[in-house]
Structure 1
């Protein structure tokens, strides 16, 4: 089994990733800013550790000895571009020093394309309050694509709608390309539990490499 470090383990996506990895028998380090606030994450195969995904030294320290990393962290008190780009740089710097060669990052569906070269956040009428957040993710993706690195990174972008935090795990998901998948009012909501399945699959047994992909029900 693998040793997986999960940055942003206190959030919804991060918690599900930790639970999914632990349930499969992986050893997990759950990285949060304040471990005292996350005692509930602790389990036999889970260690809760303080860390900062935007600080390369912190990333290198907490990721040492792991096989793969997952970036599920978010900050609402920091400008999105600043946070996501800083995190990308810190992971690209810190993970090689830690000997970690694989990282799976959670993207955002609004960076997927409605036409070649046209992300959802550039379509007419896209809400301005959401555009900065999407542009932050896009800038981080540009950072990854431009990097000369040995890190095998992957960005998985779930649908650009709220995910279901309560729906049970089905183990089913589909990975597509950079095009936004068609949606219908009758389409099932994608769950954090099934997003976590995709994250751990790709962290432990990589299939896609150095690219952005949609992940849907």
Structure 2
């Protein structure tokens, strides 16, 4: 049994990751901003705690002794999106480096996968302009990880273009590289539940150190 700390545990991806980790018998620390709002996360092997992922001292206290740390956070109503993701990534990197808090696994964004060699989805003419700021902020957080000290073992698991909250847990998925991953029909898709399997496999095994990679069917 390993202590796994999940930041952003109250979101859809975070909930699926918490459930998968608990089902595998890990000791799960589910970090949220409001423990009353997310009290339903608590259960066998899951402790719900309050924390601010952008506050390095809080993060360090939470990740100390962890075997793995998962970053599944998203900005709230009071956050500045342009700085939230980088602040969270910086705090996590510093805390893991300081405490030896285990492998750091972050949830990425399909917008910065390659649609073609050297051309990210977010850089194509078809990418919606209204999502550009969000994509740029996510990509900036990836750059923070790339600049992390060598002692910090990190990886970024990137969901497919269609991230299905209602999809079943089939128990199957495929991994790729930094390009968009599609199935035989040309569809890029993964359910939250199967994505959580990929995240936990990476947290346990660390098969993609210091890089980002796509997950899909």
1:216 maps to what in 2?
216
Unaligned runs of 5+ in 1: none
Retained in 1: the 8 A contact 2:85–2:140? Answer: yes
TM-score (norm 1): 0.94
1:38 maps to what in 2?
38
TM-score (norm 2): 0.94
2:143 maps to what in 1?
142
- State the shift of 1:184 in Å: 7.5
* Structure 2: distance between partners of 1:7 and 1:168: 23
* Structure 2: distance between partners of 1:206 and 1:86: 24
RMSD across aligned positions (CA): 1.7
1:94 maps to what in 2?
95
* Structure 2: distance between partners of 1:188 and 1:180: 7
1:162-217 per-residue CA deviation (whole Å, 9 max, x = no partner) reads x2222221111111001122468774841100010001111112111000100112
1:61 maps to what in 2?
61
1:41-67 per-residue CA deviation (whole Å, 9 max, x = no partner) reads 111200001111111111101112211
2:75 maps to what in 1?
75
Unaligned runs of 5+ in 2: none
- Matched residue SS, 2:170: coil
Runs of 4+ in 1 over 6 A off after TM superposition: 183-186
Are the structure 2 counterparts of residues 38 and 202 from structure 1 closer, same or farther at C-alpha, using a change threshold of 3 Å?
same
